[in-house]
Amino acid sequence: MGRERQDGLKVAMAEGPEQALMPVRGMTRCHRPAWARSPHARTGAIGRFLRDIGRCSRGIAALEFAIVATPLMLITFGFIAVSAVFYTWSAMQNGAQYAALLVATGQVKSLSTGAISAGNTTATTACGTSLTSTEAEYYACTGLPSWVTFTVTTTENCATPSVTVSLSASATAAAIADVFSIFTGKTLVSSAVVMKQGQCP
């Protein structure tokens, strides 16, 4: 047998000197902190409000998750943005090097503006489906992410025999989810310069 306490616990009277607090039927599992049990917290509207809050700790896990979730999501999207930018830049570098190498070795002899000649040594265009496999820009634009718009410039310089291919794109578009606005107003640029082999127009 035992006796009931005001806070809903039953004090079990054992045969020995030990005593234990045992929950009884219908008692709440929530416990009030010390500040809610103080005499000042038991009077008045504010006291009742504090008492009601302190009476139960259910929902604390949800509140803690809401507090932690915001910075966690910001960090997650930050990693996604930075990863997407580096992936885009790497693809741009590969495309520029490949196109420059093809033009420098004479495997590709045309730009988007026509055949490479003394009067046609440079061209600038946007990557798109209008490019064909006979044009140097086609190879520069191959394998680039589809969510970004790219501009490619190809130049053959016979004064210092070389071929330069440059790709540019908006860093904001490349980032996909730039929640920190780190890449706002910035441009990704990747260039490749290869020595011209053989005859230069």
* Count of other CB atoms within 10 angstroms of residue 195: 11
Give the three-state DSSP class for 179.
coil
Backbone angles phi, psi at 97, to 5 degrees: -65, -40
Q: 113 or 201, which is more confident?
A: 113
Of the chain, the end-to-end C-alpha distance in Å amounts to 108
Question: Taking the alpha carbons of 16, 22, 25, 31 in that order, is the dihedral positive or negative?
Answer: positive
In angstroms and rounded to an integer, the radius of gyration of the C-alpha atoms of the chain is 36
Over residues 15-46, the pLDDT tens digits come to: 444 444 444 444 445 555 555 555 554 556 66
State how far the alpha carbon of 82 is from the alpha carbons of 98, 168, 171, 180, 184, in Å: 25, 17, 10, 11, 13
Residue 74 is predicted with a pLDDT of: 86
Q: How confident is the model at residue 70 (pLDDT cuts 50, 70, 90)?
A: confident
- Mean pLDDT throughout 132-156? 96
Q: Where are the domains of the chain?
A: 74-195
